[in-house]
């Protein structure tokens, strides 16, 4: 098992090494580390958790040219190549299909503990200091303005609407990041999320002070 995990790690590392959208190898590595931490506190199958964390952003719509829901299938092919059991393949690819945020008014579908753990780990990396940095690098990589005060956030009701939106990065806080704290599943992640949420609130307060040139 360890050999297969290492081989998959190498493949993923190669694919994500050059990313400049906030989805680089270090994001994957942090999500794996956090997911295994959550698993150590909450339980669940560590093999499913680790594989799904490693593969969770494979063929994500934000990096594959906009194709929605492709990741599960791509992960399935990769795991087949390494002769994983059908049950493992099915559980991991199901996590990958469900893990992404799909819009403010689109409910999450995570049902098993492993699904919840991987989504929590991915979401914790989207908030706090690193979350702020990732949001602005993603925005920059997609040529999005940092902030346009006259363009208000939207409440997206479908994955298509959310994925096709092209608003400025400050709106992304109101359309997703500030809501993640309340959409975490496990108690361990909720505790970590609270502190990271406060970092974003403080950051935004300061952002508007400086935007208005208040002294």
Number of residues that bind Ni ion (CB under 5 A): 2
Q: Which residue from 103, 84, 13, 18 is spatially nearest to 45, judged by alpha carbons?
A: 84
Q: Which does 100 bind (CB under 5 to 8 A by kind): ligand ADP, Ni ion, none?
A: ligand ADP
Dist CA 92 CA 87 (whole Å): 9
Q: Site for Ni ion (CB under 5 A): which residue of 42, 50, 97, 122?
A: 122
> Which helix (H) or strand (E) covers residue 34, if one does?
helix 25-42
Residue by residue, DSSP assigns 69-131 as T-HHHHHHHHHHHTT--HHHHHHHHHHHHH-S---TTSPP---SHHHHHHHHHHHHTTSHHHH
Residues constituting the chain:
215
Torsion angle, CA of 172/59/83/47, rounded to 10 degrees? -10
120 contacts Ni ion (rule: CB under 5 A): no
Judged by beta carbon, residue 4 or residue 183, the one nearer ligand ADP is 183
Q: Site for ligand ADP (CB under 6 A): which residue of 39, 59, 93, 100?
A: 100
Site string for ligand ADP, 32-71 (x = CB under 6 A): -------------------------x--x-x---------
Q: Which does 172 bind (CB under 5 to 8 A by kind): Ni ion, ligand ADP, none?
A: ligand ADP
Dist CA 64 CA 196 (whole Å): 29
Q: Site for ligand ADP (CB under 6 A): which residue of 32, 116, 172, 185?
A: 172
User: What secondary structure letter does DSSP report for 146?
Assistant: S
Query: What residues between 36 and 65 interact with Ni ion by CB under 5 A?
Result: 57
Q: Which residues bind Ni ion (CB under 5 A)?
A: 57, 122
Q: Which residues bind ligand ADP (CB under 6 A)?
A: 22-23, 57, 60, 62, 99-101, 122, 126, 131, 134-135, 138-139, 169, 172
């Amino acid at each position: 098992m360890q050999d297969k995990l290492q081989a998959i790690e190498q493949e993923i590392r190669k694919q994500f090494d050059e990313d400049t959208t906030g989805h680089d190898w270090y994001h994957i590595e942090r999500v794996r580390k956090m997911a295994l931490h959550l698993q150590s506190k909450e339980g669940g199958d560590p093999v499913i958790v680790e594989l799904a964390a490693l593969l969770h952003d494979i063929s994500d719509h934000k990096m594959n040219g906009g194709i929605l829901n492709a990741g599960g299938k791509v992960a399935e092919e990769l795991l087949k190549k390494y002769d994983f059991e059908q049950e493992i393949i099915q559980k991991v690819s199901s996590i990958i299909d469900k893990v992404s945020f799909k819009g403010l008014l689109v409910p999450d579908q995570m049902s098993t503990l492993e699904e919840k753990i991987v989504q929590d780990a991915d979401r914790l990396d989207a908030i706090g200091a690193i979350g702020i940095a990732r949001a602005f690098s993603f925005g920059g990589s997609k040529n999005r303005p940092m902030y346009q005060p006259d363009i208000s956030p939207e409440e997206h009701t479908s994955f298509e609407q959310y994925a096709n939106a092209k608003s400025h990065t400050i709106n992304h806080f109101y359309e997703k990041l500030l809501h993640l704290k309340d959409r975490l599943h496990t108690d361990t992640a909720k505790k970590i999320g609270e502190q990271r949420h406060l970092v974003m609130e403080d950051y935004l307060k300061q952002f508007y002070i400086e935007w208005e040139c208040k002294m």
